């Protein structure tokens, strides 16, 4: 099969990559559509030591299962949760696979991902896509779930002043999610140009540099850079809350003194609820189509990544077809 493979910090297109070898309980999924996210770009820079197929945002169709008991999944259109735990340790049994110390993560940690003609995942990780949710919306399930994770972790009141720093791929989803809490949400960016799309989506916007120190009760950092964290620390008020969403390869130092002096509550936030995300997409509570900036075939994947790396570009999609 064809695949986009990272090895030793180099991304390559492989026309003859081995198809997944199904293990008991797994399904073989034919890729329909996949999305390039900031984590994928950072993995190529060295964020993780993945040696294999990239990609974790996808929608596909189940073409085979390892266990005959799972045949009801055949031909179903699905998305899939990306964390695979050992299912035996105390973390898995009590909290689930997301923080299993032995976990693999689709296209991120020791597990071939979705940027290929086929991928494999355990059936327990799969979620069927409602018939009326188009592929171009379903491919946003994983990042939308990550945005919704914030609501699982934090209670937000309408009186709170909320800032989302970073009007990019994930920040635009987070802004739309938090705007539905009734809170006073402002999406902050580095330039007026970066704020055009959030304004089109009906979100309140502002320049991060122009925002006053200590002016927000609840700040979400989604820039994908250490510079964004410095802004977040500056903007959150003493006794406020700071949600960290960025993952990046750079190791730029940041002064964390304010966390102590201001008694800031820091919340790390990663993967979220797929079923809830699919429900929001089915109900059209979130706009995803305006976030799509390009669509490429797998064999043009290197061009797709170059496009995704341009400043201001949001979601780039990959399809196995030549279109």
Residue 225 and residue 201 in contact, taking contact as beta carbons nearer than 8 Å: no
Q: Residue 273 domain-assigned?
A: no
Q: Residue 28 domain-assigned?
A: yes
Same domain, 19 and 114: yes
Q: Residue 281 domain-assigned?
A: no
User: Which pLDDT tens digit goes with each residue over 196-211?
Assistant: 999 999 999 999 999 9
Same domain, 134 and 175: no
Cα separation, 249 vs 241, in Å, equals 24
Closest CA to 210 of 225, 226, 195: 195
Tell me, what's the pLDDT at 12? 96
Asked whether the predicted pLDDT for residue 315 surpasses 80, the reply is yes
Q: Quick check: pTM over 0.85?
A: yes
- List of residues 6+ apart from 63 with CB closer than 8 A: 28, 29, 30, 74, 75, 118
Tell me, what's the pLDDT at 71? 97
252 band by pLDDT with thresholds 50, 70 and 90: confident
Q: Residue 91 domain-assigned?
A: yes
CATH number at residue 19: 3.90.180.10
Same domain, 130 and 9: yes
Q: Residue 196 domain-assigned?
A: yes
Same domain, 129 and 206: no
Q: Residue 116 domain-assigned?
A: yes
Same domain, 29 and 110: yes
323 band by pLDDT with thresholds 50, 70 and 90: very low
Asked whether the predicted pLDDT for residue 37 surpasses 60, the reply is yes
Asked whether the predicted pLDDT for residue 51 surpasses 70, the reply is yes
Same domain, 12 and 110: yes
> Percent of the chain scored above 70 by pLDDT?
99
- List of residues 6+ apart from 218 with CB closer than 8 A: 154, 156, 160, 161, 162, 163, 183, 236, 240, 241, 243
Lowest mean pLDDT among 1-15, 71-85, 132-146, 309-323: 309-323
3-state SS track over 142-202: HHHHHHHHHHHHCCCCCCCEEEEECCCHHHHHHHHHHHCCCCEEEEEECCCHHHHHHHHCC
Tell me, what's the pLDDT at 322? 59
User: Which pLDDT tens digit goes with each residue over 257-283?
Assistant: 999 999 999 999 999 999 999 999 999
Same domain, 162 and 234: yes
Asked whether the predicted pLDDT for residue 307 surpasses 60, the reply is yes
Closest CA to 206 of 225, 231, 227: 231
Same domain, 155 and 122: no
Tell me, what's the pLDDT at 83? 96
> Percent of the chain scored above 90 by pLDDT?
88
Tell me, what's the pLDDT at 321? 80
Same domain, 131 and 172: no
Closest CA to 149 of 268, 37, 286, 285: 268
Other C-beta atoms within 10 Å of 295: how many? 16
> Residues 92-103: what's their mean pLDDT?
92
Top pLDDT among 79 and 251 is at 79
Distances (CA, A) of 302 to 8, 9, 246, 298: 16, 14, 24, 9
Asked whether the predicted pLDDT for residue 255 surpasses 90, the reply is no
Cα separation, 56 vs 126, in Å, equals 13
Top pLDDT among 124 and 49 is at 124
Same domain, 209 and 135: no
User: Which pLDDT tens digit goes with each residue over 181-200?
Assistant: 988 999 999 999 999 999 99
Tokens of 284: 């059209």
Number of domains within the chain: 2
CATH number at residue 160: 3.40.50.720
Tell me, what's the pLDDT at 116? 98
Which stretch of DSSP H or E encloses residue 301? helix 301-308
- List of residues 6+ apart from 224 with CB closer than 8 A: 38, 42, 166, 168, 246, 247, 248
Q: Residue 279 domain-assigned?
A: no
Same domain, 116 and 212: no
Please give the residue range of the domain that contains residue 54: 3-140+288-319
Same domain, 222 and 251: yes
Q: Residue 275 domain-assigned?
A: no
Tell me, what's the pLDDT at 253? 79
Tokens of 170: 């994930």
Cα separation, 3 vs 115, in Å, equals 6
Q: Residue-wise over 116-150: b if at least 16 C-beta within 10 A, else e?
A: bebbbbbbebbbebeeebeebbbbbbbbbbbbbbb
């Amino acid at each position: 099969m064809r695949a986009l493979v990272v090895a030793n910090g180099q991304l390559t297109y492989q026309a003859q990559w081995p198809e997944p070898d199904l293990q008991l309980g797994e399904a073989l999924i034919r890729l329909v559509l996949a999305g390039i996210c900031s984590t994928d770009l950072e993995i190529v820079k060295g964020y993780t030591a993945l040696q294999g197929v990239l990609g974790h945002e996808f929608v596909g169709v189940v073409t085979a299962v390892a266990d005959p008991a799972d045949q009801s999944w055949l031909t179903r259109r699905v998305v899939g949760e990306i964390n695979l735990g050992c299912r035996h340790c105390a973390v898995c049994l009590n909290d689930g696979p997301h923080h299993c110390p032995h976990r693999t993560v689709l296209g991120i940690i020791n597990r071939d991902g979705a940027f290929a003609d086929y991928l494999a995942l355990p059936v327990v990780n799969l979620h069927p896509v409602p018939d009326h949710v188009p592929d171009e919306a379903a491919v946003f399930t994983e990042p939308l779930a990550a945005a919704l994770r914030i609501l699982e972790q934090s209670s937000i009141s309408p009186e709170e002043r909320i800032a989302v720093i970073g009007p990019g791929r994930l920040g635009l989803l987070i802004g739309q999610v938090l705007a539905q809490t009734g809170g006073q949400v402002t999406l902050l960016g580095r330039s007026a140009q970066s704020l055009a799309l959030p304004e089109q989506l009906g979100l309140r916007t502002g320049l991060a540099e122009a925002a006053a120190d200590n002016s927000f009760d609840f700040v979400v950092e989604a820039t994908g850079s250490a510079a964004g964290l410095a802004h977040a620390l500056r903007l959150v008020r003493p006794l406020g809350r700071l949600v960290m969403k960025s993952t990046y390869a750079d190791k730029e130092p940041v002064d964390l003194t304010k966390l102590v002096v201001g008694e800031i509550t820091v919340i790390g936030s990663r993967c979220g609820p797929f079923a809830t995300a699919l429900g929001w997409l089915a109900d059209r509570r979130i706009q995803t189509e305006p976030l799509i900036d390009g669509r490429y075939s797998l064999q043009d994947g290197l061009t797709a990544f170059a496009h995704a790396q341009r400043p201001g570009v949001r979601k780039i999609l990959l399809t196995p077809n030549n279109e």
